[in-house]
């Protein structure tokens, strides 16, 4: 059962989150305006393919690991990616539910499920971190922001495991404290990639669709 | 990149200032989106072949992205080191960047289709090449070829006279081949169906593919023409990042097509040439074209589908595989047409794996063939492609790009695979069922008999082979076994033509060639390079002196040698009667 929270924790889970969320929303709006302030390159030639279909294809490849040569080859990393992002999305969802409808996610099966999801997400984060440390080609492209973001997300998911039962106030403080931190830091860090993703997929889909490259042709002999 | 200093910073300053202005939305997104996940690492042949962490696409892009992070990225402007931002403060840093963007990326885009975001490395590399080129920081070959395109309208500096004479000679060859004295290679014929634009390599060094195309047009009964100007479909603007050059080359071709009132433009088999002419140059030039542009591959498919040409695959019995040029497969959507044709023109077609938009680069893309300073790295990373070819078990390779033919020929030689590479149209032309029996002539025309050829080569077997072949066809020969002797005999005998080996003990063939081109009394003697080494490409691209008149790669094929010698002697000595310009 959810415990009784101190005033500090209650404010952290409510007003602080809302303020941080508003801050993030404003920065994201500005960021999108910033992206759109750059002129998009256009094709003057008649299209060779189905651009709409290609854009849809570009968006859906994220869920079709067999379509990209990289995810086909490194399927384990795709699974890791999926688990990690599902865990992060779930944790974000929890930060909205827990302060206002704590009982909705307090039953033991739900708590166990959340802990399992966060735990797997944490493992995925650690595996990614391990790769960045052990693999020289990954080390070479890892910036302090990359490493920091991953470590902080791992900590956040770890805090999520402890906070999910809503029985430990320190765990809740850690989880929501980190959430507030992320809401402010994320728009400036590499984690903001998901703001860019819909744009870049749209343009690459449109470009390759225009040229008849996307959707990828049926390739019976792909490696 | 290591930090060296040059003491000057004017160019670095100009690049830093140009960077934010060059960004469009797509480029911005490519710079901003990369999360350094490494999923694209082993999509790149440079990394696959070397295992060097500095050869991954993301690492290479980061050498430019650091500028984005430092000057454009929000957090980077406050704390650049935190996000990997850094600026350029010294011109020496640009030299290092040049090696990255020209020497370690062929702009093949294989990483782009591997990236879950679609980060476009080729776009970032081209943008950077453009900024560097604007400051004169580019490989010598890129500068020379770009300059030639500005000055002469074609990348090999072929003069109008040589162009027309080559076409006249090719017309004679066509007549011999098809056995029809009326067969034509028309020039500037107005109102025709097709204007055909080619790669200058087809005019200068490898006319077989143009001859094959002419034969196919003849067989299809096509109403076509070559343009007298604006005939070069290649575009170094794509490689150097210079949009103005890109637009200039496009405009030359488009203007002539409009002047002639043709119905469509057909681009010969050249990967980047097709991409630039069809897709990019209209954007660079800001033009909407009144005629469609298609690849010759599409034209041939239409001929087969409508029964205008018939193919007999028994003409090509050996197993053949197809290499997808990156610019066709990943940037122009041409993947099925060559397969359609090869399956009908050859008995045993074998797929290469991976293929189509996932194929590996031939390693000669992005203008790499013109950058001889990076040749050894190019051949090292070509192992990926060599292994791919070997795995097919094919006895010959087809491709649809002249750059790829050269790139593949070099790697095939380097990795001792020893199989030929030809363009798709050459396989199609060989399989053509003509109403008249084709007749390939190896005869030396009467007016060429008795002309003299000096063969300079240190290998006695090659000397014997070449001289026997040439003598059997009525030519007189002199021989020399090293550079010094070659120079002596050339001075004494003043031959009508010289065949020159490149790798010889003592002074190399490159030195002999430079000498021949610099001595006033020798400059008129045409030289054909006959070599097994790939260094000869620097003579084609780093042109301190005029380039050679032809080249033949060892092992020498008799028909190719005779054809090349005939072409060179006819054009240079006999000066075939110029074709009429209608
Ligand atoms: S796959 Fe894309 S996001 Fe990942 S490192 Fe490569 S370019 Fe960056
Ligand atoms: S574009 Fe091609 S050569 Fe360049 S980094 Fe990507 S895969 Fe490598």
Q: Do A146 and B114 touch (CB under 8 A)?
A: no
Higher per-residue pLDDT: B579 or B15:
B15
CB B257 within 8 A of CB B265: yes
Who's near A144: CB < 8 A, 6+ residues apart?
A: B81, B82, B83, B84
What's the pLDDT score for residue B463?
93
Is B579's pLDDT higher than 50?
no
Is residue A7 situated within a structural domain? no
Please state the rounded mean pLDDT for residues B340-345.
97
Closest chain B residue to A222, measured at CA: B354
Select the highest-mean-pLDDT range: B393-402, B436-445, B520-529: B393-402
What's the pLDDT score for residue B417?
95
At A219, phi and psi to the nearest 5? -120, 95
Number of domains in chain A: 1
Chain B residues in contact with A201 (beta carbon < 8 A): 117-118
Residue B179 tokens read as: 């056995």
Nearest Cα of chain A lies from the Cα of B41 at a distance, in angstroms, of: 8
Is B122's pLDDT higher than 70?
yes
What's the pLDDT score for residue B575?
58
Among B573, B472, B562, B559, CA closest to B525 = B573
Q: How far is the CA of B365 from the centre of ligand 1 (A)?
A: 21
Is residue A24 situated within a structural domain? no
CA distance linking residue B578 with residue B209, whole number of Å: 21
Q: How far is the CA of B49 from the centre of ligand 1 (A)?
A: 19
Going by pLDDT thresholds of 50, 70 and 90, the confidence category of residue B103 is very high
What's the pLDDT score for residue B173?
93
Is residue A28 situated within a structural domain? no
Closest chain B residue to A204, measured at CA: B118
Give percent of chain A with pLDDT exceeding 70.
Answer: 96
Residue of B21, B24, B27, B39 for testing the chain A interface, max A β-carbons within 10 Å: B39
Q: Do B117 and A196 touch (CB under 8 A)?
A: yes
Ligand nearest to the CA of B366: 2
Chain A residues in contact with B74 (beta carbon < 8 A): 31, 188
Is residue A8 situated within a structural domain? no
Is B163's pLDDT higher than 50?
yes
What residues does each domain of chain B span?
10-138, 154-305, 313-431, 441-576
Domain range enclosing A180: 65-211
Going by pLDDT thresholds of 50, 70 and 90, the confidence category of residue A222 is very low
Residue of A43, A213, A218, A220 for testing the chain B interface, max B β-carbons within 10 Å: A213
**Fold of domain B313-431:** Rossmann fold (3.40.50)
Q: Do A73 and B42 touch (CB under 8 A)?
A: yes
Going by pLDDT thresholds of 50, 70 and 90, the confidence category of residue A1 is low
Is B546's pLDDT higher than 60?
yes
Nearest CA to ligand 2 atom 7: B44
Please state the rounded mean pLDDT for residues A98-103.
94
Give percent of chain B with pLDDT exceeding 90.
Answer: 82
Is B23's pLDDT higher than 60?
yes
pLDDT tens digits, one per residue of B495-543: 999 999 988 888 888 888 888 988 888 888 999 999 887 777 778 777 7
Chain B residues in contact with A47 (beta carbon < 8 A): none
CA distance linking residue B392 with residue B352, whole number of Å: 6
pLDDT tens digits, one per residue of A42-65: 999 999 999 999 999 999 999 999
Is B573's pLDDT higher than 50?
yes
Nearest CA to ligand 2 atom 6: B111
Dihedral sign for Cα B102, B105, B106, B109, please: negative
Nearest CA to ligand 1 atom 4: B37
Place of tokens 């430019």: B64
What architecture does CATH give domain B441-576?
A: 3-Layer(aba) Sandwich (3.40)
Average pLDDT, chain A: 94
pLDDT tens digits, one per residue of B404-440: 999 999 999 999 999 999 999 999 999 999 854 444 4
Q: How far is the CA of B89 from the centre of ligand 2 (A)?
A: 27
Quote ipTM for the complex: 0.94
What's the pLDDT score for residue B65?
97
pLDDT tens digits, one per residue of B267-302: 999 999 999 999 999 999 999 999 999 999 999 999
Please state the rounded mean pLDDT for residues B32-44.
97
A72 touches chain B (CB under 8 A): no
Bond into B555 cis (ω within 30)? yes
Select the residue of B25, B39, B331 nearest A213 (Cβ to Cβ): B331
Q: Which of B114-123, B206-215, B526-535 has the lowest mean pLDDT?
A: B526-535
Would strands B421-423 and B452-456 be described as parallel, antiparallel, or unpaired? unpaired
What's the pLDDT score for residue A218?
55
Mutate to test the pocket of ligand 2, among B58, B62, B63, B105 (most ligand atoms within 8 A of CB): B105
Residue of A46, A47, A140 for testing the chain B interface, max B β-carbons within 10 Å: A140
> One fold for both B10-138 and B313-431?
no
Residue B75 tokens read as: 């957090």
CA distance linking residue B214 with residue B166, whole number of Å: 13
CA of A133: how far to CAs of A129, A139, A143, B275, B390, in Å? 6, 6, 12, 41, 36
Average pLDDT, chain B: 92
Instruction: Give B10-138's CATH code, choosing from 1.10.1060, 3.40.50, 1.10.8, 2.130.10.
Output: 1.10.1060
What's B154-305's CATH class?
alpha beta
CA distance linking residue A142 with residue A127, whole number of Å: 15
What's the pLDDT score for residue B359?
96
Please state the rounded mean pLDDT for residues B537-557.
82
Place of tokens 């390159």: A41
Chain B residues in contact with A38 (beta carbon < 8 A): 23-25, 28
Question: How many C-alpha atoms does B49 have within 13 Å on its Cβ side?
Answer: 20
Who's near A138: CB < 8 A, 6+ residues apart?
A: A131, A132, B36, B38, B41
Chain A residues in contact with B116 (beta carbon < 8 A): 61-62, 68, 70-71, 81
Is B1's pLDDT higher than 60?
no
pLDDT tens digits, one per residue of A104-157: 999 999 999 999 999 999 999 999 999 999 999 999 999 999 999 999 999 999
Question: Cα B15 vs. chain centroid, distance in angstroms?
Answer: 29
What's the pLDDT score for residue A221?
45
What's the pLDDT score for residue B574?
60
């Amino acid at each position: 059962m959810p415990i009784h929270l101190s005033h500090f924790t209650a404010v952290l889970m409510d007003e602080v989150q809302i303020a941080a969320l508003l801050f993030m929303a404003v920065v994201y709006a500005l960021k999108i305006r910033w992206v759109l302030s750059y002129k998009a390159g256009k094709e003057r030639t008649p299209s060779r393919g189905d651009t709409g279909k290609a854009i849809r294809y570009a968006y859906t490849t994220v869920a079709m690991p067999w379509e990209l040569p990289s995810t086909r080859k490194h399927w384990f990393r795709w699974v890791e990616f999926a688990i990690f992002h599902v865990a992060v999305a779930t944790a974000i969802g929890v930060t909205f539910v827990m302060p206002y409808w704590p009982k909705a996610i307090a039953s033991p099966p739900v708590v166990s499920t959340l802990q399992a999801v966060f735990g797997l997400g944490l493992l995925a984060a650690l595996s990614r971190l391990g790769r960045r440390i052990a693999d020289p080609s990954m080390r070479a492209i890892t910036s302090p922001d990359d490493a920091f973001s991953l470590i902080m997300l791992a900590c956040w998911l770890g805090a999520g495991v402890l906070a999910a039962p809503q029985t430990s106030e320190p765990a809740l403080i850690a989880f929501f404290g980190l959430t507030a931190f992320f809401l402010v830091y994320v728009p400036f860090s590499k984690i903001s990639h998901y703001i860019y993703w819909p744009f870049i997929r749209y343009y690459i889909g449109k470009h390759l669709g225009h040229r008849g490259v996307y959707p990828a042709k049926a390739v019976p002999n792909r490696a | 990149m290591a930090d060296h200093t040059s003491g000057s910073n004017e160019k670095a300053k100009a690049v830093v200032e140009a960077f934010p202005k060059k960004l469009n939305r797509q480029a911005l997104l490519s710079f901003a989106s990369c999360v350094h996940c490494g999923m694209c690492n082993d999509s790149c042949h440079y990394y696959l072949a070397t295992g060097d962490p500095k050869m991954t696409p993301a690492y290479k892009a980061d050498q430019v992205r650091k500028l984005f992070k430092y000057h454009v990225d929000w957090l980077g402007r406050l704390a650049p080191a935190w996000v990997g931002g850094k600026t350029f403060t010294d011109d020496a840093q640009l030299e290092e960047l040049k090696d990255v963007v020209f020497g370690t990326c062929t702009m093949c885009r294989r990483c782009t289709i591997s990236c879950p975001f679609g980060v476009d490395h080729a776009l970032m590399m081209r943008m950077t090449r453009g900024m560097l080129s604007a400051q004169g920081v580019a490989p010598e070959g890129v500068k020379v070829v770009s300059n030639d395109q500005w000055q002469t309208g074609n990348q090999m500096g072929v003069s109008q006279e040589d162009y027309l004479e080559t076409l006249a000679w090719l017309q004679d060859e066509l007549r011999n081949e098809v056995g029809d004295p009326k067969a034509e290679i028309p020039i500037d014929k107005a109102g025709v169906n097709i204007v055909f634009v080619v790669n200058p390599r087809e005019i200068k060094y490898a006319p077989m593919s143009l001859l094959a195309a002419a034969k196919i047009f003849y067989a299809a009964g096509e109403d076509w023409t070559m343009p007298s100007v604006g005939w070069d479909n290649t575009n170094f603007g794509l490689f150097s990042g210079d949009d103005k050059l890109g637009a200039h080359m496009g405009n030359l071709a488009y203007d002539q097509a409009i002047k002639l009132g043709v119905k469509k433009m057909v681009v010969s088999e050249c990967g980047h040439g097709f991409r630039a002419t069809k897709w990019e140059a209209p954007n660079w030039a800001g033009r909407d074209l009144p005629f469609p542009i298609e690849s010759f591959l599409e034209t041939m498919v239409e001929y087969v589908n409508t029964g205008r040409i018939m193919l007999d695959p028994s003409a090509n019995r050996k197993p053949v595989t197809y290499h997808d040029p990156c610019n066709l497969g990943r940037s122009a959507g041409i993947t099925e047409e060559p397969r359609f044709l090869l399956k009908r023109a050859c008995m045993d077609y074998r797929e290469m794996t991976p293929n189509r938009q996932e194929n590996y680069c031939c390693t000669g893309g992005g203008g790499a063939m013109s950058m001889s300073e990076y040749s050894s790295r190019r051949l090292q990373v070509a192992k990926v492609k060599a292994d791919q070819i070997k795995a097919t078990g094919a006895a010959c390779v087809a491709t649809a790009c002249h750059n790829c033919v050269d790139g593949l020929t070099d790697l095939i030689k380097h990795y001792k695979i020893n199989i030929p590479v030809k363009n798709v149209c050459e396989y199609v032309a060989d399989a053509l069922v003509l109403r008249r029996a084709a007749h390939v002539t190896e005869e030396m025309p009467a007016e060429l008999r008795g002309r003299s050829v000096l063969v300079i080569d240190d290998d006695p077997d090659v000397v014997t082979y070449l001289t026997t072949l040439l003598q059997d066809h009525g030519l007189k020969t002199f021989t020399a076994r090293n550079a010094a002797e070659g120079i002596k005999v050339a001075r004494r005998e003043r031959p009508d033509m010289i065949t020159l080996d490149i790798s010889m003990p003592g002074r190399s063939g490159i030195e002999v060639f430079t000498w021949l081109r610099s001595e006033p009394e020798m400059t008129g003697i045409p030289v054909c390079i006959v070599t097994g080494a790939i260094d000869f490409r620097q003579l084609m691209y780093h042109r301190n002196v005029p380039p050679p008149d032809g080249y033949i790669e060892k092992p020498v094929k008799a028909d190719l040698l005779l054809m090349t010698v005939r072409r060179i002697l006819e054009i240079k000595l006999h000066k075939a009667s110029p074709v009429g310009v209608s």
